[in-house]
Amino acid sequence: MDYIRVTRPRATVSLYASCVKGVLDIVFAFFLLIFLLPLFLLLAVILYFDSPGRILFRQVRIGKHGKEFTIFKFRTMHTDVPAEGFSPTSELDPRITRFGRFLRKTSLDELPQLLNILRGEMSFVGPRPEQKKIVEEVYTIREKQRFLVKPGMTGLWQISQDRNKPIHENLQHDFLYLEQMSFLLDFKIICRTIQVVMRSNTC
C-alpha cells in the first residue's frame, strides 16, 4: 500500500512518538486487561445468552504503514450481517443486537482492542482504524498519510461532533493529530473521551 513518507509530520519522529508512546501503551494495556478481566468474562457470558454467534467480532483493518491486522471488539451486530460495510450511525440500526446497543452506547464493545494494543497493532490514541475495503476504494495517496502512526482506540475524531459520520469523510482530525501529537495531547484526548462516554450514558 502506498503512503507518503516525504511529508512525514514532525510529530511522528519525536521521541514520544517513536519510543515512549509505544511503551506506555503496552504497560497500561497489560494492567488494564488484568484489572478488567472479570468485566470481560461478565460481558462474554451476557453476549453468549443474548444472541447466537461469536463473542468477539473480528475484522481486517489497516494499521501503521498500511499493514493489515485483525481488530477485536465485542460483537454488537447479528451474525448474518455482512462482515464489511459502513458502521451503524444510530442505535436504532436493525443490524445491532439488543445487548449490542448497550455495548455501543457505553463503548464497552471497544475493550477487546486492548489486545490489539498489547500486540503492538494499535495505540490508546491515534487515527481510527479503517476497513480495508474502504481504504482500497475511497482513500487517495494524501489520505493514506494517516497510516504513518498506529491507529487508536480513541482520537480527535471520536471526541468531535463528527464522530457519527464516516471516518473517511472527516480525516482533518487525523491530520491535525499527526501534526500535534504529544503526551499532553494524548492525555487530554483520553480525558475528553471519558467525558464524552459518560455524557452519552446520562443523556
pTM to 2 decimal places:
0.84
Question: Which pLDDT belongs to residue 97?
Answer: 87
Give the span between the Cα atoms of 46 and 59, in whole angstroms.
22
Question: Which pLDDT belongs to residue 180?
Answer: 87
Tell me the pLDDT band of 5, cut-offs 50, 70 and 90. very low
Per residue in 151-193, pLDDT (tens digit) is 999 998 888 876 767 666 778 888 888 888 999 999 999 999 9
Q: Among residues of the chain, what percentage have pLDDT more than 90?
A: 45
Q: Is 50 exceeded by the pLDDT of residue 6?
A: no
How is 144-178 classified by DSSP, letter by letter? GGGGGS--EEE-TTTTSTTTTS-GGG-THHHHHHH
Give the span between the Cα atoms of 149 and 109, in whole angstroms.
23
C-alpha cell at 97: 443486537
Domain ranges in the chain are 15-202
42: nearest Cα among 111, 117, 94: 111
Tell me the pLDDT band of 3, cut-offs 50, 70 and 90. very low
Q: Is 70 exceeded by the pLDDT of residue 130?
A: yes
Helices (H) and strands (E) in the chain, counts: 8, 5
Summarize the confidence of residues 64-82 as an average pLDDT: 87
Say if CB 57 and CB 76 are below 8 A apart: yes
Contacts of 102 (CB under 8 A, 6+ apart): 108
Of residues 89 and 142, more confidence is placed in 142
Taking all residues of the chain, what is their mean pLDDT, rounded to a whole number?
Answer: 84
Alpha helix stretches (DSSP H) within 4-139: 15, 21-35, 37-50, 98-106, 113-118, 132-138
Per residue in 10-30, pLDDT (tens digit) is 555 678 888 899 999 999 999
Question: Which pLDDT belongs to residue 64?
Answer: 93
Residues in the chain: 203
Question: Which pLDDT belongs to residue 120?
Answer: 95
Question: Which pLDDT belongs to residue 85?
Answer: 57
Summarize the confidence of residues 141-150 as an average pLDDT: 88
